[in-house]
Structure 1
Amino acid sequence: MKKTLLIAAALAALASPALTLAKDDKDDQRAASAALARGEILPIARVLAIATERVPGDVLKVKLERESFGFKYEVKILTGGGRVREVEIDAKTGRIIKIEDD
């Protein structure tokens, strides 16, 4: 009986941060949708086209971050040569901020 309670308590402790992250993710998604609706960020399809035009390859990950100037996208791309490159793009203008190896 004690073993079951300890396991349940451990699982509950592990689950709490995950629930917080899930809630934060939903808040982030709402904020991104609202920013898109207000025209503060470009649609993801446009951003991916910009990134892969400069760095051809397969997109591995896309992240939207808030910076002092507004939002930026970070796009990780696996190139045909096997390198992973990160393209940072101003989310409002589509201007490439920088490209670097990841």
Structure 2
Amino acid sequence: MINPVNAAGAEKVLAAVNKEKSAGAVAFGESFASFLDDAMGKLQAQHGVVEQLGNQFMVGNLDDVHKLTIANEKALLGLELTVQVRNKAVEAYQEIMRMQI
């Protein structure tokens, strides 16, 4: 049998739907934030490796200079990627701000 729709029932359904939507948005925001945090951690780790290898090279404890060069290029590419992602995020934000409501 079909139950008639009343205002109280509709409000409960709408509240549940809105709660699910906001939970999904929060989960997406948290996952994106954790992605960015992880990426920045990896970038800092790459920089630390370059610094460590550079110190070893200066002291004369590094036999393979190629390791330093490769680590330096990896860190440089990571930095360039980070800058490009930042530029795209700023560009997207500016585009959103230009939208008329």
Which range, TM-score by smaller chain?
0.3 to 0.5
TM-score (norm 1): 0.39
TM-score (norm 2): 0.39
Structure showing the higher strand proportion among its residues: 1
Structure showing the higher helix proportion among its residues: 2
Larger radius of gyration: 2
Which structure's relative contact order is higher, taking Cα pairs within 8 Å and 6+ residues apart? 2
